[in-house]
Structure 1
Amino acid sequence: MTMTDVTEHEAAQTEPSAQALLDEGDAAADYLEELLDLADLDGDLEIESRAGRVYLSVESENADDLRLLSKPDVVAALQELTRLAVHARTGVFSRLILDIGGSRDARAQELSLLVDRAVERLEAGASSAALPPMSSYERKLVHDLVADRGFTSESEGEGADRHTVLRRA
């Protein structure tokens, strides 16, 4: 378990209050609004809290405005920067999830296709099927998709090499 995993694990043990989630969402929105202003990009922010976590979405009527920012690696980097900005302002570790221009939904669809192909390998006789390394959030989505399809999965590896392996139930 890495230091980041330990910190995320510890943070997950305590459910933040409604006020703490509101403060986290406000701090994140302020940071992202400044960033969009600096980049001279238009974007509408929407803040939600679900299951003790802040979800922040950035949308624009002009899809070109957010095209560069909605790439998976860019979204992941901006999410980490936003988490750091929230931590600097509130003193609390942030587990917020950032979505830019529907990037999370697009990635969820890609992950669903990856799981479908892995399940096909299992059904064709493979004893296991490994997926490429991905973030903890994406691995959680994969675990849920795998369970929905009646198979089991577990995360293996460390750090940037951490990935999900599917097996028969």
Structure 2
Amino acid sequence: MGATVREDEEVASEDDLFEQSEVAADYMEGLLDILDIDGDIDELVVGDRPQVEIVGEELGGLVGPKGQTLDALQELCRLAVYRKTGDHSRLMLDIGGYRAGRRKKLAELGEKTAKQVIETGEVVKLDPMSAFERKCVHDVINATEGVQSESEGAEPRRRVVVKPE
């Protein structure tokens, strides 16, 4: 379920990825200043993906219900990167540890669902999720023998379906 790279696409260098995280961090720093919100911003590259993490108090408003505001801010950061570098970015933004915590809960859901499908032999359809959430579940399912997963439906009602192999 990982990203595929076409032959005519260049894979971004570590320096390019770090530059993307710096651009996004500068963008978020400006936003935090405008909103008068305190937060520490870390720029990093994890694997082949630039990341920006913001930690601090009173950040819930930047996450929003079910991470919707966080998703919108992530897209704005990606646009800022594109505008500055001309490169499309797979930048991941995390605020207040929301994505890290969500990833852990989704891994637990994936493990529980895989176990259920293996034990019952029945297909399980999970509730609709964002692309980030679906990828977290697919990663766990793909690492578990005896089950497989696919996504079905159209956004915003796209969901993971787990089946026996």
Provide TM-score, normalisation by structure 2. 0.83
Contact 2:110–2:138 under 8 Å retained in 1: no
Q: Which one is further off, 93-102 or 49-58?
A: 49-58
Q: 1:89 and 2:102 equivalent?
A: no
Residue in 2 that maps onto 1:3: none
Q: Which residue of 1 aligns with 2:157?
A: 161
Detail structure 1 runs of 4+ shifted over 3 Å in the superposition.
Answer: 8-11
* Counterpart residue identity of residue 70, structure 1: V
Q: Which residue of 2 aligns with 1:129?
A: 124
Deviates more, 1:118-127 or 1:67-76: 118-127
Unmatched 5+ stretches in structure 2: none
Report the identity percentage: 36
Aligned residues: 159
CA–CA separation in structure 2 for the residues paired with 1:55 and 1:45: 10
CA RMSD, Structure 1 to Structure 2 (Å)? 2.3
Q: How does 1:1-169 map to 2 (within 5 A)?
A: 14-60=10-56, 63=57, 65-71=58-64, 72-119=67-114, 121-123=116-118, 125=120, 127-150=122-145, 151-169=147-165
**TM-score where L is the length of structure 1:** 0.82
Query: How far has the Cα of 1:98 moved from its partner?
Result: 0.6
Label 1:147 to 1:30 Cα distance change in 2 as closer, same or farther (>3 A). Answer: same
CA distance in 2, matches of 1:135, 1:17: 28
- Out of 120-129 and 68-77, give the one that drifted further: 120-129
Cα 1:14–1:163, aligned 2, differ >3 Å: closer, same or farther? Answer: farther
SS in 1 for 2:120: coil
Quick check: which one's helix share is greater? 1
Instruction: Decide whether the 8 Å contact of 2:121 with 2:164 is kept in 1.
Output: no
Deviation at 1:38, TM superposition (A): 0.6
Q: Secondary structure at the match of 1:35?
A: helix
Contact 1:83 1:96 (C-alpha < 8 Å) held by counterparts:
yes
